Amino acid sequence: MTAPVRAFVGVGANLGDAPATVRAALQALRRLPGTQCVAVSSLYRSAPVEASGPDFINAVVELRTQLPPLELLRALQSVEQAFGRLRSARNAPRTLDLDLLLYGEQVMHSDTLTLPHPRLHLRAFVLRPLAELDPALPLPGLGAIGPWLQRASDQAIERLTGAPTIPPP
């Protein structure tokens, strides 16, 4: 394992009891090896982007992890599968969606993983919770989060009350 790295993961769901699924997924992330949950954003409701279906419930979690990026991605995909995630079509409704948004300051482009997440700077449902956790967060290769958040200000997103807390060990 390596020295801990600050990573951010987007959590979303729009099938079943999405708020309960997001909260349960946060507990599952807490159990990842070599990983500590540092902070969790509020829950947000947003319409699906480039798709149909129920509204999504979204959040972002800040991790400190010793897992390398590809190993963390595999761990996230295992959690998705445990929650019944099917990858039937791009932008299809989901029981759970976990996206590795940022991994330290790493910029990476491979067939398996792109960092930062290739659309994070275009989506209010990612930018708002990220900015809630760190309003001065730099997006590697993209610059400060503030201008990107301003560009996405026309996207409908609703902050829900009762932000999740980091579950106890």
Catalytic sites, residue numbers: 85, 94, 97, 99
| Rounded Cα gap, residues 160 and 137, in angstroms | 22
SS3 for the chain is: CCCCEEEEEEEEECCCCHHHHHHHHHHHHHCCCCEEEEEECCCEEECCCCCCCCCEEEEEEEEEECCCHHHHHHHHHHHHHHCCCCCCCCCCCCCCEEEEEEECCCCEECCCCEECCCCHHHCHHHHHHHHHHCCCCEECCCEEHHHHHHHCCCCCEEECCCCCCCCCC
